[in-house]
Amino acid sequence: MVAVGEIFSSIQGEGLYVGRRQIFVRFYGCPLRCVYCDTKEFWVPKPSCRVEVTPSSGKFRECGPLEVNEVVREVWRLRTADLHSVSLTGGEPLASPRFLLELVKRLKERGLKTYLETAGTDSKTAGEVSDFLDFACVDLKLPDHRAVPFLKWKELVEEELACIRVLKEKGVEVFGKIVLLKTSSDRTLSKVCRKVSKLDIPLVLQPVTPMGRIRPPSIPQLFRMSSLVSSAGVREVMIIPQVHKLMGVL
């Protein structure tokens, strides 16, 4: 199975750990189709992987499909003294359950901290890998993200919440993230956040990076949304854009 599409060293550009040095292991495959996705080329697996030549150089070499031990070897080679953790991102890592489980086990054996970036599409797999995770971000979807057909959106949100619940129960430092578009509904946002508040986790509001017709909320709209989220019962609310996009790094 071709699970991993690229491996590189950079800084975390989103969420609570923004600015932290990480090695990113990007998985192929994703069951969602978010309109703002900036890694669409990883939706469908390809018979190759690209690996950064030296840490943060932005220069890559192409190689064939990598086995778990080969991914671990490349991660180990790219580590730097300021490394915070290994980010397992995508695509959607939970879409490759067996590979992900074996990988997190091997990374922990090497003494590396692990950080799962997920849309929370599979709470069962999240529970299976949680014993080997240190940190996690679950990206909660809104209807205007068009991640799934509208009639399936409520099911997706419940699975995302279940994913957060199981990760937190296993002691993983987990937080939620919601990408906000200009079209995002205050009512729906409040409804989702009332459910998030019961989980007692930090929540990051991320204004979408402009992409074609996809636009972020205005500043007044963004501040209003932040207040709504707090009023819905979420105790820790932060507004954090995609910092790596502002810096021009991977």
Amino acid 2: pLDDT: 79
Average of per-residue pLDDT across 167-184: 98
Average of per-residue pLDDT across 98-107: 98
The encoded tokens of residue 152 equal 């399936």
Q: How many CA atoms lie less than 13 Å away from 87 in the CB half-sphere?
A: 29
Average of per-residue pLDDT across 168-196: 98
pLDDT in tens, 59-74: 999 999 999 999 999 9
pLDDT in tens, 127-154: 999 999 999 999 999 999 999 999 999 9
> Mean pLDDT score of the chain, rounded to an integer?
97
Distance CA(237)–CA(250), nearest Å, equals 26
pLDDT cut 90: percent of the chain above it: 99
pLDDT surpasses 80 at 188: yes
pLDDT surpasses 90 at 77: yes
Q: What does the domain layout of the chain look like in residue ranges?
A: 4-183
Given CA atoms 236, 141, 125, 117 in this order, what sign does their dihedral have?
A: negative
The encoded tokens of residue 20 equal 């932290």
pLDDT surpasses 70 at 229: yes
Compute CA distances 184 → 108, 130, 136, 141, 194, whole Å. Answer: 39, 31, 24, 10, 16
Q: Which CATH class is domain 4-183?
A: alpha beta
Distance CA(69)–CA(75), nearest Å, equals 10
Name the residue with tokens 């399936």.
152
pLDDT surpasses 80 at 1: no
Average of per-residue pLDDT across 1-22: 95
